[in-house]
Amino acid sequence: MNLAIEQALRAIENGQAPFGCVLVKDGRVIARAHNTVWHDTDPTAHAEINALRTACHQLKTIDLSGTELYTTCEPCPMCYTAAHWARVSRIIFGARIEDARNAGFNELPVSNETLNRYNPAPPELVPGFMEQECRRLFELWKQLGSGRPY
């Protein structure tokens, strides 16, 4: 998660939204990314989508079974479903969608109707990992970054 936070800090420095993540497989980091929506003029360029695309491209597979995604904030339904399509096993996150909403993002969490209904292999969601450190990213973004939600 420290590497994910490092990515989010890089996003803040570069005028992007304060989200970062890493993908880990067999104890090895296979991708790290931050949000690049403004930079790329691409509303789908969330940290998680960027990391999934990079990992699949580099490993030449669309099947990331056994991979864990560490992300500084609870994923939005776009990113959660993208992780489902890539067969990510587990998503470990710090801050809550509620924190992103409070910071101005028009966010919703993945719904209870969706969770655990994919068969096989819905990505498991693990909340609250380094939550305080991850929540602090929103403050840093307002103080030092663009403060522009999207």
Sign of CA dihedral 100, 96, 99, 110: positive
Asked whether position 41 contacts a second copy by CB under 8 A, the answer is: yes
Asked whether position 29 contacts a second copy by CB under 8 A, the answer is: no
Q: Is 48 a catalytic residue?
A: yes
For residue 5, the one-letter residue type is I
**Burial annotation 23-59 (CB, 10 A radius, 16+ → b, else e):** bbbeeeebbbbbbbbbeeeeeebbbbbbbbbebbeee
* Number of residues binding to a second copy, judged by CB under 8 A: 36
**How far is Cα 99 from Cα 66, in angstroms, rounded to an integer?**
28
Min CB(63)–a second copy separation in Å = 8
SS3 content of the chain, % helix, strand, coil (to 5): 40, 20, 45
| Segment interacting with a second copy (CB under 8 A) among 21-29, 65-73, 80-88, 123-131 | 80-88
Using CB under 8 A, pick the residue from 26, 27, 28, 113 that binds a second copy.
113
For residue 70, the one-letter residue type is Y
Tally of residues, the chain: 150
Using CB under 8 A, pick the residue from 26, 28, 117, 143 that binds a second copy.
117
| Segment interacting with a second copy (CB under 8 A) among 3-11, 28-36, 107-115, 131-139 | 107-115
Asked whether position 49 contacts a second copy by CB under 8 A, the answer is: yes
Kindly list the catalytic residues.
48
Where along the sequence are the contacts to a second copy (CB under 8 A)? 37-38, 41-44, 49, 52-53, 56-57, 60-62, 76-82, 84-86, 106, 108, 110-114, 117-120, 150
